[in-house]
């Protein structure tokens, strides 16, 4: 007999009681069209006999509403065969409860499509047994959303086949919790591609064991992001093979924490390419052990960046060999601070090229020890810039040798200040050429001591210009001998300031030449004391 069910409207179907639904014959159930099935409530679906559920077509199954799916009892769900399970839409699959998922048998799980697995939430994935997970195809595994990956238990993750692991997308890898990463076996880790390794975050990398790291290929190591590098433990960093270390990109090197740099072995450090060395920052260089610093090749030393050299500690500099110091070059020497320069030995200084010597900053010059100053070659002294000369401390000037002083150019001599000139030994003063004397600035001449002036020869005295003589004080004028006074030009005589005139003795005045007497200005005459005036008058009468 033909069922009348197919003639009923959707509203009529919706209004049927659960008792009526339960009384429907098999023919009645088969006669339901997809529109009618869609109107069935969860209670109505639950009222259907398991036999009725078993005969529903795939079209009817796919028409069941989301609420209807939720109404399926475990016994009803159990009678759905593989074909009917596969016909469930993604929205229907999403609606399945964890109890319903847990009750699915292996054949039903196997029947689920990749699209259906892609609709699973984390709770639904968590409802799958480890045995269920093991049966999933690589396509099914790859379909699980990154969010749903958290539903995999540690047992599930540990049981993933190498094929399943290889199928995971980078987004899925990135979504793994550290507890999941920790249970991955070394074999599973070696299955991961470089792209998958590159998806790891720092906390995921931190979950890898030393054994795991040891199994990574150079391509895998190179794939770890700069951000994720911070996750490598000190033990993991120290365990990196030279091949793995050589594979690190400059960005990865630059991302190393100082705690990681501290544990680098000498073998690892000597493996670094010049490009890798150049990626180090100042804090990283400062973290290298003195043994590691001592092991650097001259090529590696030359490759250090200016900012990284600034990080060298005095202990590290003390470890550098002379050849390593020489390898720094002028650009790197130019960034050394005074404390770093102070750590250089006399042998180190001797190895510096003239360009490197000229590159030492004025501020860093104070770091040169007295021994280092005294050991500078004439070639090195000759290239010192005026700013470097001006920055010399008096204690440094005091140890300059006569050979060094006579090497100084007029520009260098002109950079001396009064305190520096006063610090020159009398031997050095006596060795100055007339050109060097003439190059002394007025302010520096004021620093000449009476002992130094007493050392000056008449020709040196004669080399002074009017501006220099004008800077003389009375004590300096008093230190001039009668022979020295005789060497002064008329312009120089006229340049002696009124205060300094008190240094002229009556003997000096008596020995003035006629042109020198005539050069004395009215202002100077008025500054003389009575004894000097008397000497002047007598000198005039004697002419």
Digit-coded pLDDT (tens) for 113-155: 999 999 999 999 999 999 999 999 999 999 999 999 999 999 9
Question: Last residue of some domain: 397, 417, 448?
Answer: 397
Q: Are residues 365 and 458 in the same domain?
A: no
State pLDDT tens for residues 321-354. Answer: 989 999 999 999 999 999 999 999 999 999 899 9
Is 255 a domain residue? no
State pLDDT tens for residues 205-243. Answer: 999 999 999 999 999 999 999 999 999 999 999 999 999
The pLDDT mean for the chain works out to: 95
Is 152 a domain residue? no
Q: Are residues 75 and 91 in the same domain?
A: yes
Q: Are residues 415 and 385 in the same domain?
A: no
CB atoms within 10 A of CB 218: 15
State pLDDT tens for residues 255-269. Answer: 999 999 999 999 999
Q: Are residues 276 and 381 in the same domain?
A: yes
Q: Are residues 389 and 289 in the same domain?
A: yes
Residues 322/350, Cβ–Cβ less than 8 Å: yes
pLDDT of 244 above 50: yes
Q: Which domain holds residue 384?
A: 264-397
Residues 533/507, Cβ–Cβ less than 8 Å: no
pLDDT interval class at 2 (50, 70, 90):
low
Is 476 a domain residue? yes
Share of the chain above pLDDT 70, in %: 100
Q: Are residues 300 and 384 in the same domain?
A: yes
Q: Are residues 313 and 443 in the same domain?
A: no
290-305 average pLDDT score = 97
Name the one residue in this structure whose structure tokens are 């990080």.
311
Q: Are residues 463 and 376 in the same domain?
A: no
Is 446 a domain residue? yes
Quote the number of domains for the chain. Answer: 3
Name the one residue in this structure whose structure tokens are 């009124």.
498
Q: How far apart are the first and last CA of the chain?
A: 164
Q: Are residues 272 and 380 in the same domain?
A: yes
Q: Return all residues near 541 (Cβ < 8 A) that are at least 6 apart.
A: none
CB atoms within 10 A of CB 422: 18
Q: Give the residue among 292, 257, 287, 286 at the shortest CA–CA distance from 272.
A: 292
Q: Are residues 421 and 324 in the same domain?
A: no
pLDDT interval class at 252 (50, 70, 90):
very high
pLDDT of 6 above 90: no
Is 259 a domain residue? no
CA distance 51 to 30: 11
Question: Last residue of some domain: 397, 430, 454?
Answer: 397
Question: Last residue of some domain: 346, 365, 397?
Answer: 397
CA distance 152 to 177: 10
pLDDT of 474 above 50: yes
State pLDDT tens for residues 40-59. Answer: 999 999 999 999 999 999 99
Positive or negative, the CA dihedral 142, 143, 145, 151 is negative
Q: Are residues 392 and 478 in the same domain?
A: no
Is 334 a domain residue? yes
Is 292 a domain residue? yes
Is 465 a domain residue? yes
Q: What is the model's pLDDT at position 542?
A: 86
pLDDT of 1 above 60: no
Q: Are residues 279 and 375 in the same domain?
A: yes
Residues 372/344, Cβ–Cβ less than 8 Å: yes
State pLDDT tens for residues 354-379. Answer: 999 999 999 999 999 999 999 999 99
Q: What is the model's pLDDT at position 493?
A: 96
């Amino acid at each position: 007999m033909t069922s009348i069910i197919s003639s009923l409207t959707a509203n009529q179907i919706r209004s049927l009681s659960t008792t009526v639904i339960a009384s429907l014959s098999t023919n009645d159930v088969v006669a339901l069209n997809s529109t009618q099935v869609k109107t069935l409530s969860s209670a109505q679906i639950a009222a259907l006999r398991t036999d009725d559920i078993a005969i529903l077509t795939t079209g009817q199954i796919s028409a069941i509403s989301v609420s209807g799916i939720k109404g399926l009892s475990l016994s009803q769900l159990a009678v759905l065969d593989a074909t009917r399970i596969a016909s469930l839409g993604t929205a229907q699959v999403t609606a399945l409860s964890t109890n319903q998922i847990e009750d699915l048998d292996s054949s039903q799980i196997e029947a689920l499509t990749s699209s259906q697995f892609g609709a699973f939430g984390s709770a639904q994935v968590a409802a799958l047994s480890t045995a269920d997970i093991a049966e999933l195809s690589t396509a099914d595994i790859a379909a699980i959303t990154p969010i749903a990956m958290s539903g995999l238990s540690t047992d599930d993750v540990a049981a993933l086949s190498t094929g399943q692991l290889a199928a995971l997308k980078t987004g899925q890898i990135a979504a793994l919790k550290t507890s999941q990463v920790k249970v991955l076996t070394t074999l599973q880790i070696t299955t991961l591609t470089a792209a998958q390794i590159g998806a790891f975050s720092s906390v995921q990398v931190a979950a890898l064991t030393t054994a795991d790291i040891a199994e990574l290929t150079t391509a895998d190591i190179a794939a770890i992001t700069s951000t994720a590098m911070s996750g490598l433990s000190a033990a993991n960093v120290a365990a990196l093979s030279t091949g793995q270390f050589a594979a690190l990109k400059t960005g990865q090197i630059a991302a190393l924490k100082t705690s990681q740099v501290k544990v680098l072995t000498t073998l690892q450090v000597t493996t670094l390419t010049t490009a890798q060395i150049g990626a180090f920052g100042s804090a990283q260089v400062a973290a290298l052990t003195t043994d590691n610093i001592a092991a650097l090749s001259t090529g590696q030393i030359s490759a250090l960046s200016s900012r990284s050299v600034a990080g060298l500690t005095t202990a590290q500099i003390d470890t550098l060999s002379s050849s390593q110091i020489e390898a720094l070059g002028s650009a790197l020497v130019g960034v050394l601070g005074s404390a770093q320069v102070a750590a250089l030995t006399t042998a180190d200084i001797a190895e510096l090229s003239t360009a490197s010597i000229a590159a030492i900053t004025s501020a860093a010059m104070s770091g040169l020890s007295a021994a280092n100053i005294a050991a500078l070659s004439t070639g090195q002294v000759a290239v010192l810039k005026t700013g470097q000369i001006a920055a010399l401390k008096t204690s440094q000037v005091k140890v300059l040798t006569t050979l060094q002083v006579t090497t100084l150019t007029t520009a260098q001599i002109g950079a001396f200040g009064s305190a520096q000139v006063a610090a020159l030994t009398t031997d050095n003063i006596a060795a100055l050429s007339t050109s060097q004397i003439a190059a002394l600035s007025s302010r520096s001449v004021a620093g000449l001591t009476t002992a130094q002036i007493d050392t000056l020869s008449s020709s040196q005295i004669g080399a002074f210009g009017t501006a220099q003589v004008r800077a003389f004080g009375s004590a300096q004028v008093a230190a001039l001998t009668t022979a020295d006074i005789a060497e002064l030009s008329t312009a120089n005589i006229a340049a002696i300031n009124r205060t300094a005139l008190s240094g002229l003795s009556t003997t000096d005045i008596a020995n003035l030449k006629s042109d020198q007497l005539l050069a004395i200005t009215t202002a100077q005459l008025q500054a003389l004391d009575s004894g000097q005036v008397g000497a002047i008058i007598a000198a005039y009468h004697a002419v």
